[in-house]
Structure 1
C-alpha cells in the first residue's frame, strides 16, 4: 500500500510540489461539488500520486487557495511532467474556470480505453480498474459531501484510490494500444485535451427550457423565474434545486400564482422566497402584473439552420450521395475491424460534419489515415469526401 499524506497548509503543499515537479509523471484527480450541496462549482480536494505516495491536498483550510495552490498549478501546466487522469474534461474545465489553470501533457485513461474499441466508450474508473487490473475498488463514498469537514478516513481512502491505480492502468492500456498499432491515436487524442477551455454559458436557462418544451411566449417568465432562483441560491449558498426544482419551475410558468397570497401558499418553494424582497418580485410575475422583457435575439451562429436543411434540389441530392458514401465506408470499417472503431471515425455527428466540411477539416490525422486505408482497400475515391462540400460542388 502506498503512503497517504493529507496536506492542509501552504508549507506542506509547497514542499510536496518541490518534490512532484521533478517527477516524470503523476496521477491526478479532483473531488469537487457541482451544485450538489452548495452553490456553484467548488474545488474540495486534489489527489496526486507519484508512484509511491498519494498526496491528498485540501484547499478548504487555505486562506487564499488560488495563490497558495500556485505551486501545484505550475506543475499541472508543465509539459515536462505527464499528468495521468481518468475522464479528465470536467476536472480541467473546473481548473480553468476557477483558477485559470491550463493543464499540459495529459494522458487520459478513458481516452486510451475508448481507442481500444473493445466496447462502448463510457466506462467508470472502478469498472475499468477491475477489468484491466483485477482489483475491486470501493466506490461507497462517490456521493459524499466533499466540502464538509473533517473528511472521514473512508473518504480519504476513496480519494486515494482514484489515483492509486492510474499509472499502472495507463501503462496497461498503452501497451494494448501499441499491440494494435494505435499508439499515435492516443497521442493525438490526448494532445487535443490541452485545448479544452471553459466558456461561460450566458443563457443557461435555454437548455432547461428546451427540455421542458417551453414555448417562445412562455420564455420571458421562465427566464425571470430561473434567474431569481439562481440569485436566491447564490445568497443562501445552496444549489438552485433546493430553492425549487426544475419541474416546479416549469409548473409555475404554466400555472402561475395570481397574487401575493397565492405565491405565499405555493408549494415547493424555499421559505426565503416567501419573504421580502423576493415575495414582491414573485408577485410581480403574476399574470395580471408581469411585463415580459423579450429574449435577446439569437446570434447568427445560433440562428443558422443545420447544413442539410439549407439544401434543396440538386445540391441536396449531392449531399445525400456524400452521406451514403460515408455510410458505406462505415460499414466496410465495421466489417474489416469492428463497429466500435467504425463509430470512432464515422459517428453520426462526424458524418454530418464531413458532409459539409470534408474529412481534412473535421478529422484527426489518425482518423483520416484510417479512412484513406479503407477507401483504398475497397476501391473507393477518398477525394469524394476530403474537401468541403461547396469546394467540390461549386
Structure 2
C-alpha cells in the first residue's frame, strides 16, 4: 500500500524463478497473511532471493508474513557498489541499461489496496521481478570485476537486520553514527 511497513499493509508479493513466469500472491483487505507455500519458498535458506531494494521488501515480508526471506541479493545495492559513475540505480534504469526491455512505473502509485487489481497493475507487479535474474547475472559480473563481491555479500547478509531495524522504528536513524 505504501512505504511505511507498520502502517501500510502488504497487498501483493510477486515472485519469479527466472524461467519466464511471474507469480503474484494477492492479500485482499481484511484477509490473513496465511500463505504457507509462499512462506516455505521465502524461508528456504538454500535459495538466494533476488530483490531490487531488498531492505524494504525484507521488512514487509518479515513483519507481515513472519519470514526472514534470506539469503539475499539486492540489485540496487550491487548497482550502487559497481556503478559509482551514476546516481541512477532504480529498477527502471537498470532494466533499460542492461536488457533489451523498458518497464513502466506508471502503476507504482496506483491503489493496491482496492478490492481488485487491474491488468495494468498485474503487469507492473510482474515486471518488477521479471528481469531480476538477468540483472543478477550482470551485477555478479560487475561486482567481481570491481573487486567488490565480498563487501556486497556482507551488505546482503546484513539486510535482514537492517530491515528489522527499519520496521522497529530506526529507519531514519543511523545507529552506527557518533551523533
Map of 1:106 onto structure 2: 72
- What number of residue pairs does the alignment pair up? 172
- Greater relative contact order: 1 or 2 (C-alpha under 8 angstroms, separation 6 or more)? 2
Higher relative helix content: 1
Are 1:127 and 2:93 an aligned pair?
Answer: yes
What SS does the aligned partner of 2:28 have?
coil
How much has 1:121 moved relative to structure 2? 5.0
Unaligned runs of 5+ in 2: none
Cα deviation code 1:70-99 (max 9, x no counterpart): 321222122101100001111211222233
Unaligned runs of 5+ in 1: 1-31, 208-348, 357-394
How much has 1:120 moved relative to structure 2? 4.5
Distance 2:87 2:51 in 1: 16
How much has 1:102 moved relative to structure 2? 1.4
Contact 1:33 1:145 in 2 (8 A): no
Map of 1:33 onto structure 2: 2
Distance 2:45 2:129 in 1: 20
Runs of 4+ with deviation above 4 angstroms: none
Distance 1:165 1:62 in 2: 31
**Residue number among 30, 55, 58 corresponding to 2:26 in the alignment:** 58
Distance 2:88 2:67 in 1: 26
Please give the residue correspondences for 1:205-284 in structure 2 after superposition, counting only pairs within 5 Å.
none
**Residue number among 88, 106, 124 corresponding to 2:54 in the alignment:** 88
How much has 1:48 moved relative to structure 2? 0.5
Distance 1:99 1:136 in 2: 31
Cα deviation code 1:37-77 (max 9, x no counterpart): xx9211111100111211011121784x322x132122212
How much has 1:154 moved relative to structure 2? 0.9
Map of 2:123 onto structure 1: 157
How much has 1:117 moved relative to structure 2? 4.1
- Is the radius of gyration larger for structure 1 or structure 2? 1
After superposition, the CA RMSD in angstroms is 2.8
Contact 2:2 2:9 in 1 (8 A): yes
Please give the residue correspondences for 1:1-394 in structure 2 after superposition, counting only pairs within 5 Å.
32-34=1-3, 40-52=7-19, 53-60=21-28, 63=31, 65-67=32-34, 69-121=35-87, 123-196=89-162, 197-198=164-165, 199-201=167-169
Give the structure-1-normalised TM-score: 0.40
Contact 2:29 2:113 in 1 (8 A): no
